[in-house]
Structure 1
């Protein structure tokens, strides 16, 4: 593996801490973790830094059959495993239960995360949730480039398309346009960038594409989420 630059090492440490690596990438990162104490400390630091993001995610208990299937694939854990091994397994099991709910949003954040200037947040993130509170869409806003990245937008119907809105502190929705299926990123115009304040709300409604652009939503949003600077 080519020796990563300091910013790339920091990103790699974050991805390893979140469990976003697999295959060869994960194996190489683990080898680096074993051979480089500074990199190992960076992984630990990212784990601590990102752990508060788990607080708002309700735990989801996987069916017992899922753990039996895992055990069958990797071999049963010896009955006489020492306490450290048991604790480690419990740690990874808890992480696996929670990771799915936040991985999309965090992965999105890692992709767009530029070098951060102290006192000047450069990335805002949001999880747009439905009425039940289930997170459906991860969003990251790169303030430096005015780019909004989305985890997925396959949420339209046969006759209507999702329209994205920004709602700042004045409470007035402003359209960011219709989202075509599988849109991954959009550029936010300069006149709209000023409304992407910390705490502003992103919302999605289903609208008639034939009458776009719209001055205001025609229905109740199906997804909403507040922007949080990080």
Structure 2
């Protein structure tokens, strides 16, 4: 298959290659195609140029001594510091599993994998917002959509970008994943409040890009998630009925 004949797929794979989330055999095939097809090589270069200044966007920070001590202890370079029994008894740490009544979306806040990709997402979101837009947005003069969330898969890899188009009052979602859906399956986007039930933001479907009309951008919502649902969306009034495949914190709430 000639990737140049499929510009949407080429742009998505080039973005994944430049971000470093395309790995293994898929990355080797992309490198082979880049040597064989000039259009593939040019697409990769365009994304690498966009991401070239990402490291300059991140301010330098010096880890505190406590962090270094923890790293050294995990590597076996020094014995871990034992805390007195009285201190441990006075400072119990509650486990997420200790609150069975809490919803799965509320327990996400305390799981490390949920936040593993957030720092990297914040570093690339400014650069990605320059080059991301729907085909319809490219056909009219409008302000660029602002990326508000980068949703990750269960391995903390970027899988979906969510942007807010203020001029069209709509959310734009762009998939970076490779999930195969059947004809009876669609993706559905959810807002995850800190309390209450997940709120549906719309059915994405199976397309690599989609636009969800909304009266206003999701406000005061700390995170978004995507689930696999039957055609037409989740039949449950309590939230997703299928597996949740992508999730991530809201990085920016547009005014």
Give the TM-score of the pair, scaled to structure 1. Answer: 0.45
Give the TM-score of the pair, scaled to structure 2. Answer: 0.41
